[in-house]
Amino acid sequence: MDMVFGDEIAAAGLADWRKLAQGLHARYRVDDFGAGARFVVAVGEACDAAGHHPRVALGPGYVDLRLTSDDAVYRDDEGTEHLVEWVTQQDLDVAARITEVAADHGLVADPTAVSVVELGLDTAQPGTIAPVWAALLTGDAASQGRGSPSDEVRDATGRVPNLWFGDAGEDARQRFHVEVYVPPEVAEQRVAAVVAAGGTVVDDRDAPALTVIADQDGNTGVVCVA
């Protein structure tokens, strides 16, 4: 199925969900573990019928869900098709069904609480170093380029953050940074919290989509809206 983007996602009217990084994310508040477990069972039954399932995390007071398709079609500049991990129409449909299940269980969504963390590493030779990081992060060489047309490292089980490679000159030193994806309505507040804690805004030319921040030692991170 084709990838879907901002306008199509917005048109679906999924108030409980936010598109962050590659997927759709939702958090539902639950009174206790049992209520969360019953909700997860109901979601499982509904998604079995749809033939498409979310990734689920159940914790004290919440259930987190992530929807993405492993077979989304991406077309590069030459028109070559690649299967990538991204949101498709089936994710929008299943998200709407899960919202109905949550309403049946009397659950309230907390969309401002969702977030995604990714790692970025600037390098001049991503194809050379990616296998090392794939082995270190996941123990599986197949995680290099999984769900991406690049050398990005993605763990199929979601145990560790995605690692992507940014462009760097031949003489550039290794540079890691953290990217934190948050809902649009949270970005300004998150940047303000960083500044209040002693950080600085390094680059906000692309805000609110991307705001680069730094700590007192000069280590940088990025607040992302996508």
CB 27 within 8 A of CB 62: yes
Q: What's this model's pTM, rounded to 2 decimal places?
A: 0.92
* Cα–Cα distance for residue pair 82/66, rounded to 1 Å: 22
Digit-coded pLDDT (tens) for 28-57? 999 999 999 999 999 999 999 999 999 999
- 177: Cβ–Cβ under 8 A, 6 or more apart, which residues? 119, 120, 219, 220, 221, 222
Specify the pLDDT at position 174. Answer: 55
Report pLDDT digits (tens) over 176-223: 899 999 999 999 999 999 999 999 999 999 999 999 999 998 889 999
- The rounded distance, in Å, linking the Cα atoms of 17 and 64 is 11
Is the pLDDT at 172 greater than 70? The verdict is no
pLDDT in tens, 109-143: 999 999 999 999 998 899 999 999 999 999 998 99
The string of pLDDT tens digits covering residues 58-91 is 999 999 999 999 999 999 999 999 999 999 999 9
C-alpha span between 165 and 178 (Å, rounded):
12
- 3-state SS assignment for residue 59: strand
Longest dimension (CA), the chain: 58
Q: How does residue 171 score in pLDDT terms, banded at 50, 70 and 90?
A: low
218 contacts: CB under 8 Å, gap ≥ 6? none
Q: Which residues contact 209 (CB under 8 A, 6 or more apart)?
A: 224, 225, 226
The owner of tokens 């047309």 is 149
pLDDT in tens, 136-147: 999 998 999 999
